[in-house]
């Protein structure tokens, strides 16, 4: 054997001496990874599992193969270059197939032909993941401290919040895991394989087994409609046409043949003697040797990144960062307050109780509730706009999205062909061309397709009368992917023949319609419509017609040819069995062109998205010319475009630069779509949405920040999508973007309000304890104040957002939260301390024994009103109450909580809490105090906005 013909890596796979060599071969080739399955239900189901797995960000390289892909490619190339005998030797199989004993042994070695990563987490693992969250840890620590200080009501409230949070998350993830396990149990698909039996004389048997039991070395028998259960090397084939749309994203088909030996220069997916797992047989039949199964197949290496490509959710990550930041502040401030209070009061339990109350006040206890209400309200609003939200956090990402990647078919276009031209050989419109095309489509019975529907619709809608009732169908030569044409044999009565077709001397005609190149190959004559005669079709004429077809195709049109042939008496007597002879020496009539027009709503929707700062990029598997034509008609800039083969030739830096510049990407494979999305996210720092509806969109959809599909999409796409559109209308998506930004804005209001009000209040308490030498509020008063304040913030999700805010993408920046607090928190603390100064100067209360109840009552009312009114300053960049007014639920909540806080010191409940009546002069002081606060806060706000160019 000449070893120079094969990659060196191939020979490490060929180990004849060890029984476990096949398993060793596969382990050497490919490392363990996630996988993609066989049948469509298998493919569709398994993605539902991967999307729920833990993931980590993955840096891309601009289009290079992963290590797993490289190893699998080397192995497949080696097999494609080898003859059948050597292939059998490589895989350690025979022409008779494996014996039942050997197949059972290999199944034990290689494992079932299913993904190897089906290790579902136990309920204990899920419970631990749900429990271990910084926010839960904070509440549990506070609950323990509350119980230690005998503050049982407060401790119980904390534990209830933890229980609700953990229970909801555990319930959701446990149900998802159970559903994934059930899907795997249902993954059954029968496959015909050839096995050999007998100890002395071996007999070949054809048996049907489950696709999970297929092993390398099996010989599979396939026919139309079958999907390959693994990567296979063809042994025999007959007119085999395979659809590889699950790999390439293109709707076209590929001809495969066993009787060929490829070379390394052939692109992997164009290898004619190799078929891939997940691809399907369109027509033809044959046998094939299974060379790779399960997680070691080429498709598995492509889709092994499912669940690993999506970047960490920015919103969830930022919430965790806020929790860690609050813990740090708590660890710094609370011990100081406890020690200071103990130094003054010499009462440790009282000091600890007050410290716990301060920690409670520092914690935004309503954060989970406010966030979930915000998201749920956004989801309901989007449902009214015909958007179903599967992942609530996706609403936040919708608001931050600044690039939307979309497929062309069915999204920008109506996904329905219309007829554009019916031209003769000179490029002139001729009714005769349309007439025969119509007769072909009308009498055709097998495989009716959109082209036939477009021809019939064009004829009927334009009032043509072609008298199809006076024709009779004799026979049909159906379409196949080798000939790429369809013919019908029809017979006309003598009246219509004499009137309309005098130059035909027979009643029987063959009418052929198909790919222009294939139709021209069977034509020897050309119709001369003006004279009603035929002329010889020269090579020059063929070149002119092909050139005309290329020009039309470059304009984004689908081009077909039409031809006819009269049948002689001799040919009709043969019973019409010689189909090859009938489709020969035909008369070329002309060209038909078709177009999938853009939707009327697409241009307006894309304009609205552009106005909102969302750039559209088209990622399609179709031709570049067609993609550019559609994009021009819907208003997408096409000055810079690229194709998948071009991207593969670029180095990483040029790849990223090209992706940022281009707006149209054509002829992309699923992996290339994924890499484009990842490049936009990493190199471009964009928040990317991907709208797709096919298997070939799954990788990119999974990696995008927002995966969007449509209700009519395949199950895989819908399983992976965060948002499902009930209509293939981009205007629905525009509404979703608007709703996402409103939801994001209201969420940010509460988060920024909480850090300013809570941290500012705690800092004020620390300063007051140091200056006064005692607590300005008792622990009970502080807890009640915090409770009223939190209840008052519940209506925030029902607040309005400024129109200008929703015009631009809104991205979370965790760094902005500390800066926001450092700018605005001191303003609150300044006016809190101003309240103490007022008591000193106006009421001459210098010592707790002379007026501790007055201090407590005044600080309680001022602090509650301050925290309640801050929302009106935070919620808008404009002047509150003058230029911008909050929604009526927020206004009502503010008035209600303020009224309760002012009235409480005068009620019996207030007396029990240790408060007293406040003088009227104090409320006059509060009016002046809050006017000063709003004035100074507005000044700080304007300076902050000028400095950081943002507010919320």
Structure tokens at 629: 């034509």
Question: 85-309, which class in CATH?
Answer: mainly beta
What is the DSSP code string of 395-422? Answer: HHHHHH--EEEE-STTTTB-S--EEEEE
Q: What residues does each domain of the chain span? A: 85-309, 314-382+737-948, 387-413+599-726, 418-494+506-569+578-595
pLDDT of res. 55: 31
Question: Is 315:680 a contact under the CB 8 Å cutoff?
Answer: no
Whether 105 has a pLDDT exceeding 50, the answer reads yes
pLDDT of res. 714: 60
Q: Give the residue with greater pLDDT, 661 vs 733.
A: 661
Binned at pLDDT 50, 70 and 90, residue 179 comes out as very low
Q: Give the residue with greater pLDDT, 197 vs 288.
A: 288
Work out the widest C-alpha separation in the chain, in whole angstroms.
Answer: 126
Binned at pLDDT 50, 70 and 90, residue 212 comes out as confident
Catalytically active residues are 407
Convert the pLDDT of each residue in 641-689 to its tens digit: 898 888 888 888 899 999 999 999 988 877 888 889 989 988 878 889 9
Cβ count within 10 A of residue 120: 17
Look at the domain 418-494+506-569+578-595 and name its fold. Calcium-transporting ATPase, cytoplasmic domain N (3.40.1110)
Average pLDDT over residues 896-925: 88
Convert the pLDDT of each residue in 35-61 to its tens digit: 333 333 333 333 333 333 323 333 344
pLDDT of res. 198: 67
Binned at pLDDT 50, 70 and 90, residue 500 comes out as low
Distance CA 194, CA 669 (A): 33
Among 610-619, 689-698, 714-723, top mean pLDDT goes to: 610-619
Average pLDDT over residues 613-639: 84
Distance CA 506, CA 494 (A): 9
Convert the pLDDT of each residue in 323-338 to its tens digit: 677 777 777 777 877 8
Pick from 50, 92, 37: which is nearest to 210 by CA?
Answer: 37
Mean pLDDT is lowest, of 76-85, 313-322, 876-885, 921-930, for: 313-322
Convert the pLDDT of each residue in 76-92 to its tens digit: 999 999 888 888 988 89
Which are the contacts of 531, defined by CB distance < 8 A and separation ≥ 6? none
Query: Could you tell me what percent of the chain has a pLDDT over 90?
Result: 12
Binned at pLDDT 50, 70 and 90, residue 510 comes out as very high
Cβ count within 10 A of residue 24: 15
Convert the pLDDT of each residue in 343-354 to its tens digit: 776 777 777 777
pLDDT of res. 897: 92
Whether 189 has a pLDDT exceeding 80, the answer reads no
Whether 282 has a pLDDT exceeding 80, the answer reads no
Taken as a whole, the chain contains a residue count of 952
Whether 186 has a pLDDT exceeding 60, the answer reads no
Binned at pLDDT 50, 70 and 90, residue 157 comes out as low
Distance CA 233, CA 492 (A): 49
Quote the mean pLDDT of the chain. Answer: 77
Convert the pLDDT of each residue in 850-860 to its tens digit: 556 888 888 88
Pick from 482, 534, 4: which is nearest to 255 by CA?
Answer: 482
Q: What is the 3-state secondary structure (H, E, C) of 903-921?
A: HHHHCHHHHHCCCCCCCHH
Q: What are phi and psi of 413, to 5 degrees?
A: -110, 165
CATH superfamily entry for domain 387-413+599-726: HAD superfamily/HAD-like (3.40.50.1000)
Convert the pLDDT of each residue in 408-425 to its tens digit: 665 677 767 889 999 988
Question: 314-382+737-948, which class in CATH?
Answer: mainly alpha
Average pLDDT over residues 469-489: 82
């Amino acid at each position: 054997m000449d070893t120079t013909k094969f990659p060196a890596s191939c020979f490490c796979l060929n180990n004849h001496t060890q029984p476990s060599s096949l398993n060793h071969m596969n382990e050497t080739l490919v490392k363990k990874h996630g996988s993609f399955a066989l049948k469509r239900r298998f493919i569709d189901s398994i993605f539902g599992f991967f999307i729920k797995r833990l993931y980590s960000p993955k840096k891309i390289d601009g289009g290079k193969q992963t290590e797993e892909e490289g190893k699998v490619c080397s192995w497949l190339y080696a097999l494609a270059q080898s003859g059948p005998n050597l292939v059998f030797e490589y895989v350690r199989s025979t022409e008779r197939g494996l014996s039942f004993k050997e197949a059972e042994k290999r199944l034990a070695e290689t494992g079932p032909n299913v993904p190897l990563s089906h290790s579902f987490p136990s309920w204990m693992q899920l419970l631990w993941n749900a429990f271990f969250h910084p926010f839960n840890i904070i509440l549990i620590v506070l609950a323990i401290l509350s119980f230690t200080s005998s503050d049982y009501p407060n401790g119980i409230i904390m534990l209830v919040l933890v229980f609700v949070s953990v229970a909801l998350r555990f319930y959701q993830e446990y149900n998802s895991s159970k559903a994934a396990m059930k899907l795997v149990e249902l993954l059954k698909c029968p496959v015909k394989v050839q096995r050999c039996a007998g100890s002395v004389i071996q007999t070949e048997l054809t048996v049907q087994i489950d696709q999970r039991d297929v092993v390398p070395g099996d010989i599979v028998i396939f026919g139309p409609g079958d999907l390959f259960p693994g990567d296979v090397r063809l042994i025999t084939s007959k007119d085999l046409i395979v659809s590889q749309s699950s790999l390439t994203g293109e709707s076209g088909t590929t001809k495969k043949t066993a009787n060929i030996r490829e070379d390394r220069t052939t692109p992997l997916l164009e290898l004619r003697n190799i078929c891939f797992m997940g691809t399907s047989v369109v027509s033809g039949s044959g046998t094939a040797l299974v060379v790779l199964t399960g997680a070691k197949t080429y498709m598995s290496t492509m889709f092994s990144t499912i669940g690993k490509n999506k970047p960490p959710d920015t919103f969830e990550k930022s919430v965790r960062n806020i929790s860690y930041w609050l813990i740090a502040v708590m660890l710094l401030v609370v011990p100081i307050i406890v020690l200071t209070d103990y130094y003054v009061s010499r009462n440790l339990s009282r000091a600890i109780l007050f410290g716990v109350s301060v920690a409670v006040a520092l914690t935004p206890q309503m954060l989970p509730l406010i966030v979930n209400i915000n998201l749920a309200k956004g989801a309901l609003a989007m449902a009214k706009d015909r958007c179903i939200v599967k992942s609530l956090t996706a609403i936040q990402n919708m608001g931050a999205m600044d690039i939307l990647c979309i497929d062309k078919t069915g999204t920008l276009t109506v996904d329905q062909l219309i007829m554009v031209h019916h031209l003769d050989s000179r490029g002139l419109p001729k009714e005769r061309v349309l007439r025969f095309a119509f007769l072909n489509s009308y009498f055709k019975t097998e495989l009716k397709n959109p082209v036939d529907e477009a021809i019939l619709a064009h004829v009927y809608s334009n009032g043509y009368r072609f008298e199809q009732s006076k024709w009779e169908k004799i026979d049909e030569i159906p379409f196949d992917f080798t000939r790429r044409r369809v013919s019908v044999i029809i017979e006309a009565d003598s009246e219509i023949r004499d009137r309309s077709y005098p130059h035909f001397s027979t009643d029987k005609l063959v009418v052929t319609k198909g790919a222009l190149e294939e139709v021209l190959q069977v034509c020897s004559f050309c119709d001369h419509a003006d004279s009603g005669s035929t002329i010889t079709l020269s090579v020059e004429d063929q070149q002119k017609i092909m050139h005309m077809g290329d020009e039309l195709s470059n304009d984004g049109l689908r081009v077909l040819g039409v031809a006819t042939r009269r049948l002689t008496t001799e040919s009709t007597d043969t019973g019409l069995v010689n189909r090859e002879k009938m489709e020969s020496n035909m008369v070329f009539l002309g060209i038909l062109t078709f177009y999938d027009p853009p939707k009327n709503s697409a241009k307006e929707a894309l304009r609205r998205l552009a106005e909102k700062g969302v750039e559209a990029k088209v990622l399609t598997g179709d031709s570049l010319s067609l993609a550019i034509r559609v994009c021009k008609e819907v208003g997408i800039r096409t000055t810079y475009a690229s194709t998948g083969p071009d991207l593969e030739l670029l180095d990483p830096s040029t790849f990223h630069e090209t992706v940022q510049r281009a707006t149209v990407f054509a002829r992309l494979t699923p992996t290339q779509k994924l890499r484009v999305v990842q490049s936009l996210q990493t190199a471009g720092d964009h928040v990317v949405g991907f709208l797709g509806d096919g298997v070939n969109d799954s990788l990119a959809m999974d990696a995008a920040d927002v995966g969007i599909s449509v209700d009519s999409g395949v199950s895989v796409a819908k399983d992976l999508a965060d948002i499902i559109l009930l209509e293939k209308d981009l205007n629905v998506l525009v509404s979703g973007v608007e709703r996402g930004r409103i939801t994001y804005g209201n969420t940010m209001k509460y988060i920024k309000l909480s850090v300013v009000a809570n941290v500012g209040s705690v800092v004020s308490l620390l300063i007051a304890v140091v200056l006064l030498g005692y607590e300005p509020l008792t622990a009970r008063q502080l807890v009640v104040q915090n409770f009223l304040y939190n209840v008052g913030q519940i209506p925030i999700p029902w607040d309005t957002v400024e129109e200008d805010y929703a015009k631009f993408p809104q991205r979370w920046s965790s760094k902005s939260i500390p800066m926001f607090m450092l700018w605005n928190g001191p303003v609150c603390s300044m006016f809190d301390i101003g309240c103490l100064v007022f008591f000193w100067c106006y009421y001459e209360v210098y010592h707790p024994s002379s007026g501790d109840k007055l201090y407590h009552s005044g600080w309680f009312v001022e602090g509650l009103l301050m925290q309640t009114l801050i929302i009106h300053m935070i919620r808008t960049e404009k002047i509150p109450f003058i230029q911008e007014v909050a929604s009526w639920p927020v206004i009502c909540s503010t008035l209600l909580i303020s009224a309760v806080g002012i009235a409480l010191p005068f009620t019996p409940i207030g007396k029990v809490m240790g408060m007293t009546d406040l003088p009227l002069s104090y409320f006059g002081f509060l009016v002046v105090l809050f006017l000063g606060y709003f004035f100074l806060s507005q000044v700080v706000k304007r300076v902050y906005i000028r400095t950081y160019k943002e507010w919320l």
